[in-house]
Amino acid sequence: MTMPDAPLRLTLDTAVLTDNWRALDRLSGAARAGAAVKADAYGLGAARVVTALAGAGCSDFFVAHMAEAEPLLALTDPGSIAVLHGPRTMRDAAFARDAGIRPVINSLYQAALWRDAGGGPCDLMVDSGINRLGLSLSELSDPLIAGLQIDALLSHLASAEEDTPMNRQQCERWNQARRLVAHRRGSLANSAGIMLGPDFHGDLTRPGIALYGGVPCGALGDVIRQVARPEAAIMQVRQVEAGAAIGYNSTFVAPQTMKVGVISLGYADGYLRSWSGKGAMLSGDARLPVLGRVSMDMTVIDLTAAPHLAEGDWVTADYALPQAAAISGLSQYELLTTLGRRFPR
């Protein structure tokens, strides 16, 4: 059976992706950079990302849910995969044990699950102040923890992109935990945390958003390049007359006769209504503003700057993450993870 053509594309530049990882690895100093590939590699396709990064030399990958690990087992050494949320049930623990992946132990309950499943190498998350997952410092003396075979002792920074005393406080608590618990490696820094300096690096850093073109702090502005570009096909080209309204609720009225294009991209694809009247598509050097409200499955754009465009041509969303976040009001993380499943990965 002949398959239909997808009207959306998500271009992933794996050469830039691996360049970003190598840059973050260099900035990690004596530590080695891993990669956060949770949420399908921040929405960009974990299989392709892991394959590219493993080829570049990355040997630690972090997912959130146990189910996210299974598709990656054939792409890299299972021992290089850590599951941040740890085992929720005995079945989770048995899966991790059988697959050879590292569960991140976040509580005494999870430590008991892992012990009862037979144990083996694992990571341990210590809460140093973000008050999400992780053991408190007072829990580290529990005999359950002493019985673990801990590879990486982790903590997570709450405000690494900001100049705040909390960063140093968390680093000190993480170092205190390192003195209390036997482990092979220590890991604290995320993307922005790498730029806080060697005290935050430990043995393993865990960049995420910066791998994918996000710039969480100014110090990375000249280092990180854009990785992903959403593209959409033009479904219809039309001329509208002066005074004609475009889209729901007539929020845009043409000031003069205009050539416009209707593209196959809408909020069901993660191009949210926050882009209405603010976003733009690109065609070469031409910027094509969004006109009126973004609909569920389509968006209207101004073709004045590219009058040669016709039905079937492609345009690229203006989606460099730092600038796109400032325009849309969405975080750089949301811009990637909300991209819909109609984009082929």
**Catalytic residue set:** 38, 248
Distance separating alpha carbons of residues 174 and 93, to the nearest angstrom: 26
DSSP string, 2-36: PPPPPSEEEEE-HHHHHHHHHHHHHHTTTSEE-EE
For residue 64, what are the contacts with CB-CB under 8 A and spacing of at least 6?
A: 38, 39, 83, 84, 85
Amino acid at 123: D
Spell out the residues 6+ positions from residue 26 whose beta carbon is closer than 8 angstroms to its own. Answer: none
How open is the CA angle 325-42-58, to the nearest 5 degrees?
A: 120
For 272, list phi and psi in degrees, rounded to 5: -75, 170
Backbone φ and ψ of 13, nearest 5°: -90, 95
Distant-in-sequence, close-in-space partners of 311: CB < 8 Å, separation ≥ 6: 234, 235, 236, 237
Residue 15: count of CB within 10 angstroms of its CB:
11
Nearest to 123 by CA among 111, 112, 113, 131: 111
φ and ψ at residue 101, rounded to 5 degrees: -90, 165
Q: Please return the burial class of 83, using the count of CB atoms within 10 Å of its CB with bins 0-12, 13-18 and 19+.
A: buried
Read off the DSSP letter of residue 54.
H
